[in-house]
Amino acid sequence: MSPRGKQPPARVHSALEASKMLAHRWPIMLAAIVSIVLFTGANLARPIVIQRAIDDGLLADDGQTLVIAAIIFAALALAVYVFQAASTYLTSWIGQQFLRDLRMRLFGHYQKLSMSFFDRQNSGRLVSRMTADMNALTDVLNNGFLIVIQSALLLIGTVIILFTLSWKLSLVSLAILPPLVVGTALFRVYSERAYEVVRDRIADVLVHMQESFAGVRVVKAFGREPHNMRRFSTINEDNFEANMRTVRISSLYIPLVEWLGGLAIGMILYFGGRWVIGDVVTIGTVAAFIFYLDFIFQPIQRLSQVYDMLQSAMAALNKIFGLLAVEPDLKDADGREVLAGQVLGRIQFDRVTFGYDPENSVLRGVDFTIEPGQRIALVGATGAGKSTIAKLALRFYDPTVGRVLLDGHDLRHLRFADLRSAITLVPQEGFLFSGTIRDNILFGRPDASDHDVVRACRTLGIHDFVESLPDGYDTAVSYRGSRLSAGEKQLVSLARAFLADPPVLMLDEATSSLDSRTEALVEDVLGKLYSNRTTIVVAHRLSTAKQADRILVIDNGEVVEDGHHADLLRQDGPYAALYGKWAPTPAAADVL
């Protein structure tokens, strides 16, 4: 923080953070800088050798001087090659190490952020930070950084040498600097704005593509391909226009640099020729000036070309470090409170009020206790608050008012590692990661043995199913388990939870995506999974609620009824009305 308590500008903050990440690599950076300086020095010396060869060799008719000049020039050319190769390798090595560390830092930061952050952010934009923005940085670190340093040193060294050779010709050469400076300043302002827009448009393209691929079944089911094409056409056109704006800016600036360079050479030939006749300068000096002018305009031209790249990279760096500056909404506990001994699994909601938007509460004064080993079903209409209760029990969010406790401990005082080992979630849709079936089952307990995996699958009744796959437990699972049916994915997800063996199990109606045959296969095993552990089921089926020890009826963010299925029916309250609504149709009575 600055003395006034304000954050530094985004560019300054990004530069400082990048410098911190590079600080410990100073020996390699020093070697790279030395290589660049030696390359620049060898390059700058070559026109001086040409000047001496002309003035002291050709014009003086001295063959020995010409031979010596040729040998020195060849040695300088070799030095340029060696030191340029070294500087290119070293700067690229440093850049790739920086990118490797930055990717790990960004991915690690994603893992620490709270669920509320992912609710607010589009996953496509988060992926864009790791892909498109990283690619922009790669371009700069592989080429741009080296070009900037080399060009800057060449430019500064050339100006110094020119004034040493002839201050009069130097003033003539520098007469073109004012229009060049003005043109460069305008180019900088307009291109910076243009590249910020380009980065946003690229992110829009990635977001739309990611959404289209993820929801391809819905798109095809509703025949919305033409709509998707029209929408993408608009996004793609915006991206095209943003990039063309940068092209238009560059197409005006780069030819200006070329024209000014040609003008400067013409001025040197005119004034230099007249001063050679008047014995003010030598022919070799004029020749050296023409060579050195290339060292002025070539760096400026290269800097102007790489400026687009630098702007794009700086915009990317600002977005990445801006994201890294986001603090998690939920802080991990300091570990002063621990779950000592065996976790009993007593869950208590103590007058809990919560809203995703603080102005609009989803839950209001929720107060109940789940005793160890109880199986609780949460029922209610869509949007009543069932899933929100489950998220608070998992500490995906913290209550606005009140407390959620596990075995008497406020969840806010427990470390995430302890809490996650005590409570396991089985979502409605079994989510599988790329890898093998075994990898996915081990996800909840990585230290388990192959024997433990097989035993869990045998107990759950899916061992034969896994063995029937092409490679058994080593069968590769593609993105989100797309090769498996919804029921098969859920079976693997249940095996993952069973192997983890948590004291508290949270299920978002884990059998709702299974067909009747597959559901029957796992129901008996789920009974074993429920035993001796606290279970909270977000119930979408009345058949699930009927089997629970207690049913909590949620309506408009409040627990309006609490009891067993039969007792609630006798009370003829909200649950009875809900059940009666579906009971007349046997098929429908199973769904809530």
Q: For residue 412, what pLDDT is reported?
A: 93
Q: Which amino acid is at 575?
A: Y
Q: Which residues contact 464 (CB under 8 A, 6 or more apart)?
A: none
pLDDT tens-place string over residues 296-340: 877 877 776 677 778 778 888 888 888 888 888 888 888 778 887
* Architecture per CATH, 347-590: 3-Layer(aba) Sandwich (3.40)
pLDDT tens-place string over residues 443-475: 888 889 999 999 888 887 788 888 988 888 998
Where are the domain boundaries for CATH 1.20.1560.10 in the chain?
10-324
| Fold for the domain defined by 10-324 | ABC transporter transmembrane region fold (1.20.1560)
Q: What are phi and psi of 436, to 5 degrees?
A: -110, 170
Structural contact between residues 113 and 396, judged by C-beta atoms closer than 8 angstroms:
no
The secondary structure of residue 357, as a DSSP letter, is B
The span from the CA of 516 to the CA of 215, in Å, is 26
Structural contact between residues 444 and 496, judged by C-beta atoms closer than 8 angstroms:
yes
Tokens of 3: 């003395």
Give the whole-number percent of the chain exceeding pLDDT 70. Answer: 90
Q: Which amino acid is at 168?
A: K
Tokens of 388: 């929100």
The span from the CA of 504 to the CA of 373, in Å, is 8
Tokens of 86: 């070294």
In 3-state terms the chain splits into helix, strand, coil percentages (rounded to 5) of: 65, 10, 25
CA 294 from chain center: how many Å?
Answer: 41
pLDDT tens-place string over residues 254-305: 788 778 878 888 888 888 888 888 888 888 888 888 888 878 877 877 776 6
Q: Which residues contact 557 (CB under 8 A, 6 or more apart)?
A: 361, 362, 363, 364, 366, 384, 385
What's the average model confidence in pLDDT over 158-173?
87
The span from the CA of 139 to the CA of 142, in Å, is 5
CA 77 from chain center: how many Å?
Answer: 43
Cross-strand partners of 356: none
Of 13-17, 21-25, 404-408, 521-525, the least confident: 521-525
Where are the domain boundaries for CATH 3.40.50.300 in the chain?
347-590
Tokens of 71: 């040998």
- Bigger pLDDT: 177 or 92? 92
